[in-house]
Amino acid sequence: MRCARAFLAYCHRPVEQLGGNDIRHFLLYLIQEKKFATKTINLHSAAIRFLFAVTLDRPLNYLQVPRMKNRIGKPEGFHFLEHRTVDHKFGIITDAYITPGNVNEPVVYIERLQRQINTFGLTDLEAVALDSGYLTPYVCKKTIEMNLFAAIADRIRSAIAAKRFISIVFLQT
C-alpha cells in the first residue's frame, strides 16, 4: 500500500491517466535519485503492477516494466579479482594478476600457467594444485593436454564433475 501511495504522490495526476511510462519514470527515480536497493525497487514494481492489474483491472505489459535482477550475495558495483600462483616448495609467488570480476577465471588461468612454463622454463612441471573454482571441463582438458596432474579441491555440489575428472585422469594413464 505504501509503495502504491508513493507512486501516486510522485506522479501528481489521477490514477486513470497513468500508464507504463509513468511507472518506468518512477522506478528510474527510485534507482537514480533515491538509490534504493534492488529488492526495494522490485517491491515497488510489484505493488504498482498489483494496483493496475487487480485494483484498477488494467493489466500491464510485463516486458515494458521489467524486474531488476536480484544478485543475491554479490556486491554491487565493479569489482576485481586478484590471483596468485605460488611455488609451495620454495614459498615464493611466481605470478600475480588481476582480472575484472566478470571474467571467466579458468580460461585466464591456463594462459597464465602457459606463460609461467615458458618464462621459467618449467619443462619438468608435473602437477598443479587448484581450488574448487577451477574444477571445470576446460581446465581438466587443458591440464591433461599439457601432461599435468591437476589436484583440484572438490566442492560438495560438484562431486559429479570431480568423479568425471578422476575417471578421465585414470583412463588417460
Say how far apart CA 38 and CA 76 lie, in whole Å: 10
Q: Bin 153: left if φ > 0, else alpha if -120 < ψ < 50, else beta.
A: beta
Q: What is the mean pLDDT of residues 153-158?
A: 64
Q: What is the pLDDT of residues 34-91, one digit of tens each?
A: 888 888 888 888 888 888 888 888 877 766 677 777 666 666 666 778 888 888 788 8
**pLDDT at position 148, please?**
92
d(CA 159, CA 81): 25
The values of phi and psi at residue 81, to 5°, are -115, 135
Q: Which of 134, 137, 146 is nearest to 104 (CA)?
A: 134
Indicate whether 145 pLDDT > 90: yes
Per the DSSP assignment, residues forming a β-bridge with 83 are 97
The total of other beta-carbon atoms located within 10 Å of residue 139's CB is 22
State the pTM of this model.
Answer: 0.48
Pair 83, 94: CB distance under 8 Å: no
- Whether 10 has a pLDDT exceeding 80, the answer reads yes
Read off the pLDDT of residues 21-34 as tens digits, 9 standing for 90 and up: 888 889 889 888 88
Residue 38 CA to residue 67 CA, distance in Å, equals: 9
What residues are paired with 82 via a beta bridge? 98
Q: Determine the pLDDT at residue 73.
A: 65
What does the alpha-carbon distance between residue 32 and residue 36 come to, in Å, rounded to a whole number? Answer: 8
Parse the chain into domains and list their residue ranges: 2-55, 80-172
| Residue 12, CB-side half-sphere exposure with 13 Å CA sphere | 0
